[in-house]
Chains A and B, each alone.
Chain A
Amino acid sequence: MGDAIAEAFRLIAVGDAALWEIVSLSLRVSLTAVALACLIGLPLGALLAIARFPGRGALIVATNSLMGLPPVLAGLLVYLLLSRAGPLGPLELLYTPTAMIIAQTVLVTPIIVALSRQVIADMHQEYDEQLRSMGITTTGAVLTLLYDARLSLLTVALAGFGRAAAEVGAVMMVGGNINHVTRVMTTTIALETSKGNLAIAVGLGLVLMLIALTVNGALMALRGTQGVARHV
């Protein structure tokens, strides 16, 4: 473990170009996937929270269950879709960062839908009468609730980011762990482990944790200033 910590510090101190390439690709892929998942998932979650329609219960159970979708299964499904033998083969997206973003979006969207639905449903109970008295449409209600719940929804997005940044099965399968093209933090850790370079692998793991800490810290700071502003 001492070796690993020394390795983590060495990796950061040296400012290793290969490391930063990998870190920046990890961030680009996972942050883009979370952004896409939020674009799709937040309106959907809010709609599920306030609209009443047949099949709603089944949809809620389905999205809740999909939170447990195994990354390697998501990877396999996206692989079958993007393979040259698959329906989207001609797009030539397999083994590109775009394929990795698609796979992680598939993984993260159910988390965003399920958690934001709960957040919005709780808030809707409070706001329902008020919104109704103002004669606001469903779309208007969705937007209002999403805006007012934005701080809680930030935590939802962080949960999604955690899932995306931590998974290895999906990006390994659809990205292929190609050096300089699709190699990210988690696939590098898997590769170094398979080479028996355990200290480097744990060192990279610590760097990954540090990144997660930085992202969370930055958002927490953002959230802090927002919270203060609201109460001034």
Chain B
Amino acid sequence: MTLRVLVLLILALVAPLAQAADRFIVVQSTTSTENSGLYGWLLPQFTAESGIEVRVVAVGTGQALRNARNGDGDVLIVHARAAEDAFVADGHGVKRHDLMVNDFVIVGPRTDPADLNDSSKAAAALKRIAETGVIFVSRGDDSGTHKKELALWRAAGLDPTGDGGAWYRESGSGMGATLNIAIGMDAHTLTDRASWVSFGNKDDHVILVEGDPALQNPYGVILVNPEMHPGVRAGDGQIFIDWLLSPAGQAAIAAFRVNGQQLFFPSAR
């Protein structure tokens, strides 16, 4: 009896919070697209056109992929090509589409203690960082940026993880938190350009290395496979993907500006 009253009371308290089941989809996403304000620009345009609300969970590529492997999300927007292909190959995703690109940059103190500014090659810059022993902050969180950073170290023929704690520090955090740490330590870090340009706490840090083709940062969009995860809102998710890849969606991506600068370049084919 008491138990039944308790259950009823709990239901009464929680019920008003149950969301009216409008049309919506959940997008598991990397953080750069959210933090730079791209979604704030893009999604209202899509919602106005389609009537579908887009709910973004911005967590970093590694966690986004893991959440989507549990079926928690309808669409993925991430940037780690190998992991994306594995996701689709394992049957969790229907198909990966090119969405847009930008690039990674290495940021560090304006004084440039490791003398990186004259090197346009990422691998050469990382070698110099390792040789001089200036502090480098790694995401260390299995995100898209972290995977890219590890690939760049491999390309430079180095394995810095052995020096963990000395000059190589793993923050285990998102891009923004890692940037805050790097700035606090007067250190270097790898970041995507969108996160950097829109970051508000740059202090005396600047871009030291950019323009290497190895620093390209392609973003992909994937519909989570409804055959593997029956709860997926595949219809509305596909409508969103179709819009992103359409001329209208691609033009909207190209038109997004932060401080007058274009941060994402459409790449749908």
Interface residues of A (CB under 8 A from B): 28-29, 32, 35-36, 39-40, 83-86, 89-90, 92, 94-98, 101, 176-179, 181, 191, 193-198
Contacts and interface: CB of A to CB of B under 8 A. Distances in A.
B9 A39 contact: yes
B176 interface: yes
B55 A198 contact: no
Interface residues of B, number: 36
B10 A95 contact: no
A86 B231 CA distance: 12
B6 A39 contact: yes
A193 B231 contact: no
B200 A178 contact: no
A95 B68 CA distance: 13
Contact of A95 (B35, B57, B71, B177): B57
A195 B13 contact: no
Contact of B201 (A28, A97, A198): A198
B17 A36 contact: no
A194 B26 CA distance: 22
Nearest to A29: B17
B17 A39 contact: no
Contacts of B93: none
Contact of B19 (A28, A29, A40, A96): A96
Given A36-B13, A90-B231, A83 B199 contact: no
B259 interface: no
Given A32-B14, A39-B10, A195 B199 contact: yes
A143 B105 CA distance: 65
A33 to B, nearest CB: 9
Nearest to B34: A191
